Structure 1
């Protein structure tokens, strides 16, 4: 009797579970994308403050610092957009 009960639970090809998992996973992309955009905004603000600080003090390395912070912000935005378009 126990074996027949286990067989009843194991029927099906699992497509319902895969469909449910897919819908749950895609539901996380919008909040995750917004979180990555917020992180990019914070990184941008921190970078702007650091670049302004270096520019104000007359540091000759200001351009390199600005480029690296700008590249980090662009990477976060592009990564969020590409991941969203790739998986959705």
Structure 2
């Protein structure tokens, strides 16, 4: 009997604390939205920079294979080019989707 009262009291105290903290939920959601949006443009620029670096590394790798006379140069070039295009498209779609 004493254990159930203790659990009930603990539950009531926790519920009261949660309710008192949740009174300004709209302001909290707005603050979270503004914080996410503030990090979005630098993240997009970072994705563009990573795509540029991957493009340069891929160009060097393809050039080395081409000079070595490998037969799979087209396949490697398509893979590197595809990864760079994927990063740029993802960054652009996310930017347009979230309306930043």
Shared fold (TM-score greater than 0.5)?
yes
In structure 1, stretches of 5+ residues that fail to align are none
Distance in 2, Cα, partners of 1:32 & 1:53:
32
3-state SS of 1:70 partner? helix
Task: Summarize deviations over 1:35-79 as a string: whole Å, max 9, x none.
Answer: 000000000000000000000000010000000000000000000
1:83 aligns with 2:94: yes
Query: Could you say which structure has the higher helix fraction?
Result: 2
Alignment of 1:38-53 (within 5 A): 38-53=49-64
Please report the TM-score for the alignment, with normalisation by the length of structure 1: 0.86
In the alignment, the residues of structure 1 paired with residue 97 and residue 84 of structure 2 have an alpha-carbon distance, to the nearest angstrom, of 20
1:72 aligns with 2:91: no
Which of the pair has more CA radius of gyration?
Answer: 2
Scaled by the length of structure 2, the TM-score of the pair is 0.76
Matched residue pairs, number? 85
